[in-house]
Structure 1
């Protein structure tokens, strides 16, 4: 007997509803002091963002709307209780809850927090204060608002203030992962490029997570100087190190067990290296090659690695669950080289990237953007993704080798059956994380839709979970009512959904790499954009490896739109492109054991290690293989 979704989740709905009822009794009936309200809501948020409740809250059910409406009402109570003055600790906790608060209001019966913001704006006008954050109503408004809700005048006034509340408010605003309005884009650009209150943030470790989130999110902005903020946030991590007394030991002062051949020691800082994760699939071949010449030490959180990953290395050092307590890690290893497969996915990884742990510190663009840290010496790049040195802060080791098909196969790869595609409309996949979607990209999709002679159906893969999925779905459907917004699922199911499309569009300016590989696995064409930063060129690197750059890579937004429209409006041409992509036999190359990228990577790193004085300073240099490692 089949059961409905409501029936499947009834137990979890009842449990969550009971917790909301308890909060309603505590907050609405005033049985709990106001100063405890934010903390109690924080505990509810933690529950809602974890399984099984997150599984329930990502479903478009009447009961979910009702729950969100009740939770939103609790927040209205907190934000409109002017008898209580928020402490700096409450400002911080509301900042941590901010993304969830926005989701709740969007999914609730209220539809948004606009009505509350209007009330707070009117209340704020009743009292003039020297600082914006000294006005209780304005402080509440800024804590509740999204980037697109802020008046320009209020944004300018905020930027005149350099206080800890102002810094936390700014971080909260920049946590918005999908500011798809003109006001939202403009506000994000202004805060990233023009405002630096972050020196007012105390170096206390519970700020690290929201600072790390903003550090990473800035890379997805369309602003020209979006990385400027990283330098300010890097300074905060350095102040934290000093406050906690975190300091590496001298190089080579801690012998490594089992290093009987006295190989140079390389510590691999891996923010995510589970054997099912794309990061493992990209970098495992390189690690295997490096192990021939180096004693390899894996550094990572236990939750982010598994036995297969650990087995690649000579030693594993676990990062404490208390991520900012890095001294035990530093005490166990004093490497000759520290290699960061990415920087930005975890707070502890950013923290490590701002320590001088090894004489030579190098990174890959695994999270493909510059760290802007003065303790990160080199970044690996190749001839297709190399950019002007003004874009990348690190010096660059430029490899001849291409990415191509060099990512390892997914551990449990099962190709879906050939999908039967409709002739009545063109199905277009947009396989990218929600953070890569921006107003400029959406405008391009709308123009493609407008010029298409056939109906177009977009299928988005934002990789969101819980209420974040419903919020993202609502925002995207406001622009594309007929779109399918896929929920996060298993890799097999993801490929099966992806295969139901005629072609895929890669986002810009922050492009794809692994998602483009997924399309190649299916023999599906991808239209991509070639930009000015490494993360705008990774699609090109993959597609050019198969001779598809002339068919699939645009060099301007207009070119991108016209290229997609041409394939949509010329079915025979699209069929030819699909046949061409399939003829490249990606899967045959995907199983080849030889990995020229891994081999050249190791040669380049050996050269850099031998010429450490040359490659570390000054900044702004690009080192090419001729005359060095080739």
Structure 2
């Protein structure tokens, strides 16, 4: 008996989506229901389509997916071109939350893009100007449909002339695009990040939380020099939420922990995501084990973001409630001496908590390697290789001297793929990075590498997208690189097997890699990266330099990045030497080390900072080195 195809296996899923779409279509096309009702019905189905099992089908490039996406797009056309109905603020919000999905289905559908519908709406919008943009029904709809690269400068400027709740939501919608791979898209995102901050107009309401958090995180991936400034405004929104909800921390030490029998100082570790299979666990588990010797360790996280193994590292676990903004129960359960944020930016509640004064000392690491701009964050840990100069981050910096090479723990019982047998007639280049890190400048560099290569080049992207977002990303990347492989999200060992099929790997810029570079080192796969000033532009360098590879793998300009990669491609002997050199580092042997100097020094620095808080909390911009402090 033949095994049914994946498409056949997912037929019941198609039938379910088909049935739910038919119910909405009946209301729209036969019963002529109001756009408001349609928008809310779509919101429910869209949410389902972005999760299993519906997303499993929606990421397949098959006829059934194209049909479903075309029907979704047709419903959006119906809603957005019905100018007789004025969209309420709530409908603008609900559509903004669907914005990414809406963009994806138009790209994947039979419409092929939103171009024709957007042109109709913009033409109508320009026919009659209104005093306020929010009063121009066609323009509001056009901005809800448009990507940041779809608009003329004049339309963006018109948006920024209004400081209203509607305008703020429309700006957020435009900034949600993870992959603006055009000149106008890159310029438009920079303009909105640097020149327009209407976020004080957004009321401190729970329904805005996810969007605000999304933009807080996504701004880090822009190429804009002032991209992080927007966080100052978004941080203020979280503080207004705290005030409205009456969220307030108790006095440090006022809550006693029954398990703290040795009366150790209490450290709350904010774990936005910390399952044992996640990269965050691999980086930070060794440090937590070390810290537990001196502190009573309390993990703070949502239940769905941790597991038994990660909870087991701690003395106590405090669960963040599903209603992420209601943090009072967390604040009532622990009054720590130190709050250590392994990252800030991956979860709404993490950003919210980072804007509260909860502990005497509040420190962060670069789990998400970017400044927080929070007035309540005292210090951040970094290595000299990650330090890119004064003024790069808003926090004071504890500069550790230890190397970072063996910090990340290996996965347990990891099965590495056998050495790859590669076809040298085609140079296979891995690009193992999230879609958010890919930008126009990086794509232009890849195109130049492709042009100058003496051999055919095949790129293999690992954008980590899911559902119809994968198909949309695949389409955008194929428009630049028709022969590229765009890998779907998969398990770790399957990912390593795919990664292993390449001659070398390239890190993006300006937001580089960390864990992906470690993955390449595990396989003995060379990585070429570029160094910049920000922490996320120096993480590759930090890892590669610790292994003695920076001279061969780290460029200091786009020109050197391109020429260096092209030289490795066009001189095969050099690439073979580099592959042999990376293999000779025996990274896996180092990778299994549990105790490491970096973790030990980080703990010493944290102890010192806790004992010298007056110095740590001095004027912003301080760089505190270990010599004479936590080092002899």
TM-score between both structures, scaled by the size of structure 2: 0.99
SS at 1:338 equivalent: strand
Q: Which residue is 2:26 aligned to?
A: 25
Cα pair 1:336 1:359 within 8 Å, conserved: yes
Q: What does 1:237-386 correspond to in 2, within 5 Å?
A: 237-386=238-387
* In structure 2, distance between residues paired with 1:359 and 1:167: 35
Q: Which residue is 2:457 aligned to?
A: 456
Cα pair 1:608 1:615 within 8 Å, conserved: yes
Cα distance, 1:611 vs structure 2: 0.5
Q: What does 1:90-129 correspond to in 2, within 5 Å?
A: 90-129=91-130
Q: Does 1:139 align with 2:148?
A: no
Cα distance, 1:32 vs structure 2: 2.8
Cα distance, 1:420 vs structure 2: 1.3
Cα distance, 1:30 vs structure 2: 3.0
Q: Does 1:481 align with 2:482?
A: yes
Q: Which residue is 1:566 aligned to?
A: 567
* In structure 1, distance between residues paired with 2:407 and 2:362: 24
* In structure 2, distance between residues paired with 1:593 and 1:38: 52
* In structure 1, distance between residues paired with 2:202 and 2:195: 17
SS at 1:432 equivalent: coil
* In structure 1, distance between residues paired with 2:48 and 2:137: 29
Q: Can you list the C-alpha shifts for 1:140-187, whole angstroms capped at 9, x where unaligned?
A: 000110000111001011111100000001111101000000000000
Cα distance, 1:131 vs structure 2: 1.0
**Stretch of structure 1 that moved more, 457-466 or 400-409:** 400-409
Cα pair 1:405 1:517 within 8 Å, conserved: no
Q: Which residue is 2:444 aligned to?
A: 443
Cα distance, 1:401 vs structure 2: 1.0
Q: Can you list the C-alpha shifts for 1:418-468, whole angstroms capped at 9, x where unaligned?
A: 221112110000000000000000000000000000000000000000001
Structure 1 runs not aligned, ≥5 long: none
Q: Which residue is 1:73 aligned to?
A: 74
Aligned residues, how many?
630
Q: Can you list the C-alpha shifts for 1:568-605, whole angstroms capped at 9, x where unaligned?
A: 00111111110111011111111223311110001000
**Stretch of structure 1 that moved more, 236-245 or 410-419:** 410-419
Q: Can you list the C-alpha shifts for 1:368-390, whole angstroms capped at 9, x where unaligned?
A: 00000000010000111112231
* In structure 2, distance between residues paired with 1:291 and 1:72: 53
Q: Which residue is 1:418 aligned to?
A: 419
Cα pair 1:341 1:364 within 8 Å, conserved: yes
Q: Which residue is 2:535 aligned to?
A: 534
Q: Can you list the C-alpha shifts for 1:180-220, whole angstroms capped at 9, x where unaligned?
A: 00000000000001101000000001111110000000000
SS at 2:262 equivalent: coil
SS at 1:397 equivalent: strand
* In structure 2, distance between residues paired with 1:477 and 1:97: 24
Q: Which residue is 2:598 aligned to?
A: 597
Cα distance, 1:37 vs structure 2: 1.2
Q: Which residue is 2:49 aligned to?
A: 48
SS at 2:404 equivalent: coil
* In structure 1, distance between residues paired with 2:492 and 2:218: 24
SS at 1:568 equivalent: helix
Cα distance, 1:473 vs structure 2: 0.2
Q: Which residue is 2:156 aligned to?
A: 155
SS at 1:147 equivalent: coil
* In structure 2, distance between residues paired with 1:626 and 1:310: 34
Cα distance, 1:34 vs structure 2: 2.9
SS at 2:251 equivalent: coil
Cα distance, 1:128 vs structure 2: 1.8
* In structure 2, distance between residues paired with 1:396 and 1:32: 57
SS at 1:247 equivalent: coil
Cα pair 1:276 1:411 within 8 Å, conserved: no
SS at 2:149 equivalent: helix
SS at 2:568 equivalent: helix
* In structure 2, distance between residues paired with 1:124 and 1:399: 56
Cα distance, 1:6 vs structure 2: 2.3
Q: Does 1:3 align with 2:10?
A: no
* In structure 2, distance between residues paired with 1:349 and 1:492: 30
Cα pair 2:125 2:138 within 8 Å, conserved: yes
SS at 1:504 equivalent: strand
Q: Which residue is 1:512 aligned to?
A: 513
* In structure 1, distance between residues paired with 2:175 and 2:294: 43
SS at 2:127 equivalent: coil
Cα pair 1:275 1:411 within 8 Å, conserved: no
Q: Which residue is 2:87 aligned to?
A: 86
* In structure 2, distance between residues paired with 1:411 and 1:464: 25
Cα pair 2:299 2:311 within 8 Å, conserved: yes
Cα pair 2:406 2:596 within 8 Å, conserved: no
* In structure 2, distance between residues paired with 1:131 and 1:381: 47
Q: Which residue is 1:60 aligned to?
A: 61
Q: What does 1:462-501 correspond to in 2, within 5 Å?
A: 462-501=463-502
Q: Which residue is 1:391 aligned to?
A: 392
Distance 1:122 1:7, change over 3 A: same
* In structure 2, distance between residues paired with 1:29 and 1:144: 24
Q: Can you list the C-alpha shifts for 1:2-43, whole angstroms capped at 9, x where unaligned?
A: 322321211111111111111111112235333211100101
Cα pair 2:527 2:553 within 8 Å, conserved: yes
TM-score between both structures, scaled by the size of structure 1: 0.99
Q: Which residue is 2:522 aligned to?
A: 521
SS at 2:98 equivalent: helix
* In structure 2, distance between residues paired with 1:588 and 1:285: 16
* In structure 2, distance between residues paired with 1:121 and 1:309: 51
**Which consecutive segments of 4 or more residues in structure 1 shift more than 3 A?**
none
SS at 2:227 equivalent: coil
Cα distance, 1:256 vs structure 2: 1.4
Q: Which residue is 1:545 aligned to?
A: 546
SS at 1:298 equivalent: strand
Q: Can you list the C-alpha shifts for 1:77-134, whole angstroms capped at 9, x where unaligned?
A: 0001112111010110000000000000000010111111111011112322111121
Cα pair 1:527 1:553 within 8 Å, conserved: yes
